[in-house]
Amino acid sequence: MNTSTTETPISRRLERLPISWLHIRLLFIHGFGWFFDAMDVGIVTFVMVALAKDWHLKPDQLGLIGSSGLAGMFIGALVSGVVADYFGRKRVFQVTLLIFASSSLLCAFAWDLTSLIVFRFLVGIGLGGELPVVASLLSEFIPGERRGRFIVLLESFWAFGWLAAAIVAYVVIPVHGWRIAFVIGALPAFYIWVVRRKLPESPRWYESRGKFREAEAIMESLERDSERITKKPLPPTPSLETAPAISMNNGFSFLRLWTPEYLQITLMLWILWFGLVFGYYGIFVWLPSLLVKAGYTMVNSFLYVIVITVAQIPGYFSAAYCVEKYGRKPTIAIFLIASAIAAFAFGKSISTGSILTSACIMSFFNLGAWGAVYTYTPELYPTFARATGAGSAAAFGRIGGFLAPIVVGHLLPSIGRSGIMTLNAAMLAIAAVSVSLFGGETKGIVLEDASRGRVRL
């Protein structure tokens, strides 16, 4: 690995900040938004089971409900990434969260299949726009030696949100119906929107846009807070005037993702995201329905999903350890392959014990892989293109997510649970092959170095 540095003045100062409650606070503010995002996505998977009975919907119609949100996520991820690189992460962060929370609340008042599909599409725009921007924003505050662990821990809030959705579904839906579940999932998200208004913009982004005064003001505030919290003086840092010149590019466009400089990165990430997202939504959106189809009652299927979801939590924590100990690339590849094997086994399982065991293993490794992928993706592009690159990869992945519920809905009656899980396992394996053959390693590298090709290939 090339050991020379391309750090900018702001990156040097950020990298020298010791991990403190300042970073923990950022993690939790971002994470609770992630929590309610996951809660909403989780709730709709359980609502699909109830709607099949209440509205007498067929599997292909249920697939449209699941896919409508993914279609919105494609639009949200594609647009928000470009907009965030031009107008800032925080502004896009706020707008997408408000879209998500408002539209999720509207789902509680859907009067037919068409209205619910429209509202889920709007939810997807907010959700798809928020997630890659959140990962980019938080990654730009965390020092390189701890960045991977923090982003995986951010992603771990998804498991807790999904678990909350399973509990709400188990307790609320059988008694009070599915509409109140949407209300419970949407209202707290408005509170997070208020809290996030106090978050600072990324000083790295300000610097990349030539807004040095704004970047300096935020850095001075972060440094004061760090010294106050740690009660230790910070080491000296170079001033903006004496530091090396900064390479900026305010004209980055989506088309440059396909130039020789970024082509391999872009292709690898798009294949990785497509396979991961297809495999995830092809499994977990349908998980309660697959369990009902296997002969379990709605209440029992909800209970089993709670157990399966709990397995996600240690999966995230193990990935948080592995990305810093062994690296991003091997962690992603191994977790994806393990998830694919477990998915195949889940499709072949017959007894309750084997179904739950394989599903828990699948859940453990699949969500651990998600955390590592969210860590890895923003590290491969420069600051002025980070949200565009990460958002575009996520957007292409959402195409897989859009297709997965529809494909499963059409194929489930003919090929059954075994065939569906074999298909999803194959998609996860393709994602693993992509990162194994074409990915580079970014463990411990300063963002500015990681995004300028200083990675181990």
Is residue 368 within 8 A of residue 335, CB to CB? The reply is yes
Structure tokens at 178: 């599915």
The pLDDT of residue 168 is: 83
Is residue 19 within 8 A of residue 146, CB to CB? The reply is yes
pLDDT in tens, 293-348: 777 776 677 778 788 888 888 998 899 899 888 998 999 999 999 999 999 999 89
Which CATH fold topology does 9-233+254-450 show?
A: Growth Hormone; Chain: A; (1.20.1250)
pLDDT in tens, 336-384: 999 999 999 998 988 888 888 999 999 999 989 998 998 898 888 877 7
The pLDDT of residue 104 is: 86
Q: What single DSSP character describes residue 258?
A: G
For 311, 313, 366, the CA distances from 318, given in Å and listed in that order, are 11, 9, 12
The pLDDT of residue 357 is: 92
Cα end-to-end distance, the chain, whole Å: 9
In terms of Cα–Cα distance, which of 275, 301, 306, 311 is closest to 439?
275
HSE (side-chain half, CA atoms, 13 Å) at 439: 27
Tell me which H or E stretch contains 257.
none
The pLDDT of residue 399 is: 87
In terms of Cα–Cα distance, which of 137, 160, 192, 157 is closest to 383?
137
- The C-alpha angle with vertex 73 and arms to 71 and 76, in degrees rounded to 5, equals 115
Q: Which residues of the chain have pLDDT under 70?
A: 1-8, 188-189, 191, 194-196, 235-254, 298-299, 444, 446-457
Q: Is the pTM of this model over 0.75?
A: no
